[in-house]
Amino acid sequence: MHDSTARLRDSDFPALKRGKLSTLQVNLGYLCNLSCTHCHVNAGPRRTELMSREVIDQLLDFIRARDIHLLDLTGGAPEMNPHFRYFVTEARKLGVEVIDRCNLTILLEPGYEDLAEFLAEQAVQVTASLPCYEEANVAEQRGKGVYQQSIEALQLLNGLGYGKDPRLSLDLVYNPNGAFLPPPQGPLEQDYKAHLRDDYGIEFNQLLTITNMPISRFGSMLISKGQFDSYMQLLKDNFSQDNLASVMCHQLISVDWQGYVYDCDFNQMLGWGMVDPRGDQIIARDSARTHIADLLEVDLEGDSIVVGEHCYGCTAGQGSSCGGALS
């Protein structure tokens, strides 16, 4: 594995300041029923890192204290955290919208037979990665058999009203299978909808296109193929000033399984905590890293965001965020 971190630190990316915080993105741990080759966090069935109930309670305190509207749950397979249902139920009682970043196949695993019903009862928004609507491409990225299981899980969700009932939103995520920018989101969504409806009777709400970031496994792949510099140039050549105001770090923070806080999920993968690695922004004065418990009384609006070369991935072309294209 080649680490791209050192190539990202020195950057001319414009300085960013936080807006009003509305979203908490939480990684519940690295346990997963799959072990995809491209996985950014190297998740898998043997990983033991899982967010504790204590940290989940600290996050619920934070949600209450800081008026959070949206909780975005990732992993691993977030549903495999033993406190997943507790967290979702308590957050929904507070009126918070919850997104479950679901790999779909977990809905079919033994022991999780009632998971889809639980998600529907709680009106959790399901966002699922389906890197392509063609079976061969999905098998290459996620493993053999995953495509058919994903189709079966999507049909299960449709049967519960997902993608049809306005309360139950079902979005799919596309990311390019190589060193190129995603195609325009609208036309690709139409292709996905036509294909999945015609072949499998599947309905979904939105397709979210996400640009590959030059970090983690994708960054390593770029370095090993000698494509790192040309991919960075592609991102920079397609820089769009208009996307700067809507990059997702303006209104979210990202929390790892131990409760440490980052400006976004990508900075979490890089290990760049909210304490700037260059030392010019310190929130947690008694610790090297900022923990969610440090932030109960802190208004982050107007604070600097830790940026690097990878940020060009958020602003290139139509822009990219965990909610898909920006423009």
Smallest distance, Å, CB 289 to ligand SF4? 17
Beta bridge partners of 252: 23
Smallest distance, Å, CB 320 to ligand SF4? 8
CB nearer to ligand SF4: give 60 or 232.
232
Q: Are 318 and 326 in contact (CB under 8 A)?
A: yes
First-to-last alpha carbon distance for the chain, in angstroms, is 34
Cα 246–249–253 angle (5° rounding)?
145
CB nearer to ligand SF4: give 73 or 311.
311
CB nearer to ligand SF4: give 55 or 264.
264
Which of 175, 173, 140 minimizes the C-alpha distance to 36? 140
CA-to-CA distance for 215 and 271, rounded, in angstroms?
Answer: 11
Beta bridge partners of 99: 72, 125
In three-state secondary structure terms, 81 is: coil
Element at 195 (helix H, strand E): helix 185-200
Smallest distance, Å, CB 43 to ligand SF4? 4
Smallest distance, Å, CB 194 to ligand SF4? 26
CB nearer to ligand SF4: give 162 or 218.
218
CB nearer to ligand SF4: give 43 or 138.
43
Residue whose tokens read 């418990």: 293
Binding residues (CB under 6 A) for ligand SF4: these are 32, 34-36, 39, 43-44, 75-77, 103, 247-249, 263-264, 266-267, 305, 307, 310-311, 314
Smallest distance, Å, CB 166 to ligand SF4? 27
CB nearer to ligand SF4: give 83 or 310.
310
Smallest distance, Å, CB 16 to ligand SF4? 6
CA-to-CA distance for 127 and 70, rounded, in angstroms?
Answer: 14
